Structure 1
Amino acid sequence: MKQPLLSVVITVYNEEDNIKPLLEATYAALSEIDYEVILIEDGSTDGTVKEVKKYANDRTRLIIFNRNYGQTTALAAGIDSATGTYIATMDGDLQNDPTDIPTMLQKAIDEEWDVVAGRRAKRKDGFVLRKIPSKIANWVIRNTTKVYLNDYGCTLRVYKAEIAQNMGLYGELHRFIPVLAKQQGAKMTEVDVKHHPRIHGTSKYGLSRTFKVLADLILMLFFQKYFQRPIHLFGGLGLISFFLGSLISMYLLILKIMGEDIWGRPIMILGFILILGGIQLITTGIIAEIIVRTYFESQNKKTYTIRSIYQGQQSSAEVAQVVISTTEEK
């Protein structure tokens, strides 16, 4: 089968009323492109599957989960199944507009971007419950990871397939996809895209996700800075803790030699805790280093990514002849 230029991955969960207009709009927007559409049905409890089967064309593939796994897992399944040279992702709630995809794809091709991310310029969501938490989250992520995008919550993005399929999506890391892509050295840009208010169904997002985002942010910062060298984090903290505990113990030892009673002092307990904590942190760092080495070596993974390799067009004989000719002219 011929490889399509574009695979469009759409996650759907209880979007029964949105399926028909979603597919109609997507097919119309992609009519001039060699495409495939991959719908991931994330354990819906309504008639989403029935509606997809009714309106899907021959370029559409439906992946049905046996239960709800979450958006990150659904995106990962769709990306793994994609066969296109480029992969676009979008939500199935009709808030993303598929007419933006051709423009984003063309920008990725013409300007050789690895990722073209959507930025919801006129977002049609509630101000207090959606916009304010999103702005705060975007600011925190942008300034801690140093990946400078304005809208991490917009699912509408276009990727080169090799970037998307090597991000290692799991858990709830879909908000941090740009950070995962950046770790591979991806060249990214951001463009304004259209955003529509939700008409059918209910939003799956809320303030309860804030703490999950913060927890995932800690994980991403660890991946970004210490994934290949965890001993630098745990060992550094461990050495600082052990050093402070040792200073406290030396101070108490001097007091003891001078005849003072040191038993039962809170500072003595603190010293013991710091020394033991330091030893544990250093040990954790060593174990983490062993795990990282096992991760890379057992799967023959590399700790680097090569963007491209240029092979010269001249044969070795031709190169030698050029060298000889240059020497004779001299």
Structure 2
Amino acid sequence: MAHNPANRSATQERPSQGSPEVSIVVPCYNEVENVRPLVEAVERALPRHHWELIFVDDNSPDGTMEEVRRLAAEDGRVRGLRRVGRRGLSSAVIEGALSSSARVVVVMDGDLQHDESCLEEMVEALLKDEADLSVASRYVSGGSRDGLANSWRQSLSQGGTWLARLLLGVPLTDPMSGFFALPRHRFEAVAPALSGRGFKILLDLTMMMPTSEKLRVHDVPMVFRERQHGESKLGLKVMLSFATMLLQGACRRHPVLMAGSAAATLAGSAWLGRALGRRKSGRHGGAKVRARRSRLLRKGR
């Protein structure tokens, strides 16, 4: 029978109880099969720290929240927030992080694609005040993005990373990473300015941090795994949201340089709209002419 860390007796050796020093926020939707394995993975990765796992569930129909509740009854370090009528990864992360009282907040996906062995180094760099932000990066030596489902997703990730660094100048090797950690007080300082939209909250967080101070970023190489259960949430809507965030962030950081680009984009969109409108009306107009001609021909007969 496999050892189940979530069922360990309270008398077994554990970090001292009390307020956790690390809160791991896990936004999730339809991840019922991944909840227990994730708890076990975190226990293996952080044996020396007092941590808690906060699952923020967007009212999953597959029983994710029920599984979280079962685990919470077995292990006091697990808790869940169920959201009804609200959806989205970024807003889920914000709500979960703001419910924390720990020194360090970690954000981690619930699909087991993030390598939990990165946790120790990420957390230690912050607790020792060696960094302001720890990021599990696929784009440093020792990291890999091979777990992305296909070449299309790999190209999207690489292209988004390149655009984010070019347009925003953020000091990140992997601005699209969903696995990162920062001191709670830093998160709370920028939380009111976060958009809460989209799925790349690390980018939003970094854009909102003061540009007057140099951000100390600690990269930890991460091998991105393949998804074992459930389905990817990446879709056209998510991609458009990310593109919008990039443009808005670029305009905030470089208002003069981006003014021309924004104006050109708006003009191009307006032109395209008019062109499509003319094409549509042209089709309708041609149909009307053909119908009128047909009626006249029938009358002539």
Normalising by structure 2, we get a TM-score of 0.70
Selected match of 1:158 from 147, 169, 181? 181
Shift of 1:85: 0.6
More relative contact order in 1 or in 2 (CA 8 Å, sep 6+)?
2
1:175/1:207 CA distance change after superposition, 3 Å: farther
Task: Name 1:47's counterpart in structure 2.
Answer: 63
Alignment RMSD (CA, Å) = 2.5
Q: Kindly provide the CA deviation profile for residues 92-145 of structure 1, in whole angstroms up to 9, marking residues without a partner as x.
A: 000012221111111223352110111122221134221101111110110111
Shift of 1:160: 1.0
Matches within 5 A, 1:132-171: 132-168=155-191, 169=194, 170-171=196-197
Find out whether 1:76 has 2:102 as its counterpart: no
Task: Name 1:176's counterpart in structure 2.
Answer: 203
Q: Percent sequence identity over matched residues?
A: 26
Q: Kindly provide the CA deviation profile for residues 273-313 of structure 1, in whole angstroms up to 9, marking residues without a partner as x.
A: xxxxxxxxxxxxxxxxxxxxxxxxxxxxxxxxxxxxxxxxx
Task: Name 1:321's counterpart in structure 2.
Answer: none
Q: Secondary structure at the match of 1:209?
A: helix
Give 5+ residue unaligned stretches, structure 2. Answer: 1-16, 261-301
1:225/1:167 CA distance change after superposition, 3 Å: farther
Q: Kindly provide the CA deviation profile for residues 45-76 of structure 1, in whole angstroms up to 9, marking residues without a partner as x.
A: 11101111122310122110013410000000
Q: How far apart, in 2, do the equivalents of 1:181 and 1:112 lie? A: 21
Q: How far apart, in 1, do the equivalents of 2:237 and 2:197 lie? A: 16
Q: Is 1:90–1:155's contact at 8 Å kept on the other side of the alignment?
A: yes
Q: How far apart, in 2, do the equivalents of 1:25 and 1:224 lie? A: 39
Q: How far apart, in 2, do the equivalents of 1:233 and 1:76 lie? A: 31
Q: Secondary structure at the match of 1:117?
A: strand
Q: Secondary structure at the match of 1:17?
A: coil
Matches within 5 A, 1:13-32: 13-32=29-48
Q: Kindly provide the CA deviation profile for residues 178-235 of structure 1, in whole angstroms up to 9, marking residues without a partner as x.
A: 5235436432232212321101000001355332211111221233346xxxxx799x
Greater Cα offset, 1-10 or 49-58: 1-10
Task: Name 1:104's counterpart in structure 2.
Answer: 122
Q: Secondary structure at the match of 1:165?
A: helix
Task: Name 1:130's counterpart in structure 2.
Answer: 153
Find out whether 1:36 has 2:36 as its counterpart: no
Task: Name 1:206's counterpart in structure 2.
Answer: 235
Q: How far apart, in 2, do the equivalents of 1:75 and 1:194 lie? A: 22
Look up the equivalent residue of 2:250 and give its one-letter code. Answer: L
Q: Secondary structure at the match of 1:87?
A: strand
Greater Cα offset, 106-115 or 10-19: 106-115
Number of positions where the alignment pairs a residue of Structure 1 with one of Structure 2: 232
Matches within 5 A, 1:238-253: none
Greater Cα offset, 201-210 or 70-79: 201-210
Look up the equivalent residue of 2:41 and give its one-letter code. Answer: A
Q: Is 2:190–2:209's contact at 8 Å kept on the other side of the alignment?
A: no
Task: Name 2:219's counterpart in structure 1.
Answer: 190
Q: Is 2:175–2:203's contact at 8 Å kept on the other side of the alignment?
A: yes
Q: How far apart, in 2, do the equivalents of 1:224 and 1:183 lie? A: 11
Look up the equivalent residue of 2:185 and give its one-letter code. Answer: E
Q: How far apart, in 2, do the equivalents of 1:129 and 1:65 lie? A: 32
Selected match of 2:25 from 9, 12, 25? 9
Look up the equivalent residue of 2:203 and give its one-letter code. Answer: F
Normalising by structure 1, we get a TM-score of 0.64
Q: Is 2:115–2:225's contact at 8 Å kept on the other side of the alignment?
A: yes
Selected match of 2:136 from 118, 124, 130? 118
Q: Is 1:130–1:206's contact at 8 Å kept on the other side of the alignment?
A: no
Look up the equivalent residue of 1:166 and give its one-letter code. Answer: A
Task: Name 2:275's counterpart in structure 1.
Answer: none
